Amino acid sequence: MPRKPLPAKDSSESQGLALLYTRVSTQMQVNDGVSLDVQERDLKRAAEMSGYTEIEVIREEGRSGKSIKGRPALTKALERLDKGEASALFVTRIDRLARSTQDFLSVVDRADKNGWRIVMLDLNLDTSSYQGRFVVTILSALAEMERAIIAERQKDVHRDRRENGKVWGVDLGPKTKVSEDVRKLINDYRAKGMSYSKISQKLNADGVKPTRSARWYPSTVYKLVNDLKENSTKVEPGE
């Protein structure tokens, strides 16, 4: 069922500038451009239907939605909104804006405090209304709870593997190409209190060849030791 257009204010009133925020998280999507273009098209249509004649597209390319702090384009857009340089922020989905309740509510509070609005197309909601603010707060909290449940489920999987003696990188997942003898040697060195730097120097001096480079580095030794030691907290590739 098609969504109803967001209501426009009185056409005699100045709507100000609407910022249309688009984001993709992977380089593949950046190169493809399809997701950004689709978001831009939908946001322009929604802003125009809401009565905005001044619009500006903000693109955030190859940035994860995990935290607002890691998205400079959004940070700058929020600062402009707070200063009154724009009056609305349009996004296609709530997770384009924020993936944690804390981040999302901080943006909502800024909008409420500084008098600008957030419009989310997937929910057909506008935070300039009390109803919109209430609903998106509840939905954001539910989304975070769902992610927490998934994380707990992954921990249960890892716990089951530990109890059955299965090791990520040995019995499951990508297998390390470093021989068992070399891994045992490195673990013995660590047990003797040798630093990662000393171990790498020792391996290079003894002519022990790593698998992916010409020589050993402290970071190489560190990764090998911790990939095996902390396998119980590793998550399979893919999100």
pLDDT tens digits, one per residue of 135-153:
877 877 887 788 788 888 8
Rounded to whole angstroms, the Cα distance separating 207 from 201 reads 10
Could you tell me if 20 and 58 are in contact, meaning their C-beta atoms sit under 8 angstroms apart? yes
| Among candidate residues 121, 120, 117, the one with its CA nearest the CA of residue 130 | 117
Is residue 217 domain-shared with residue 122, that is, in the same domain? Answer: no
In a domain, 39, yes or no: yes
Say what the alpha-carbon torsion angle 79, 84, 87, 93 is, to the nearest 10 degrees.
10
In a domain, 79, yes or no: yes
Mean pLDDT of the chain: 79
Domain ends where: 143, 162, 191?
143
Domain ends where: 90, 114, 143?
143
11, 25, 50, 232: which one is catalytic?
Answer: 25
In a domain, 220, yes or no: yes
Which amino acid would we find at residue 3?
R
| Among candidate residues 71, 132, 79, 125, the one with its CA nearest the CA of residue 98 | 71
The domain of 206 spans: 180-233
Is residue 30 domain-shared with residue 123, that is, in the same domain? Answer: yes
Q: What size, in residues, is the chain?
A: 239
| Among candidate residues 137, 114, 57, the one with its CA nearest the CA of residue 91 | 57
CA distances from 4 to 123, 124, 157, 168 (A): 11, 8, 43, 49
In a domain, 128, yes or no: yes
Rounded to whole angstroms, the Cα distance separating 95 from 92 reads 9
φ, ψ for residue 166 (rounded to 5)? Answer: -95, 135
Domain ends where: 89, 114, 143?
143
Is residue 117 domain-shared with residue 212, that is, in the same domain? Answer: no
Token digits of residue 226: 């911790």
pTM reported for the whole predicted model = 0.54
Res 175: pLDDT: 55
Does 224 or 120 have the greater pLDDT score? 120
In a domain, 91, yes or no: yes
CATH number at residue 86: 3.40.50.1390
Decide if 100 is catalytic.
no
Is residue 29 domain-shared with residue 118, that is, in the same domain? Answer: yes
Is residue 186 domain-shared with residue 109, that is, in the same domain? Answer: no
In a domain, 209, yes or no: yes
**Least confident span in 166-170, 197-201, 219-223:** 166-170
Does 229 or 61 have the greater pLDDT score? 61
Into how many domains does the chain fold? Answer: 2
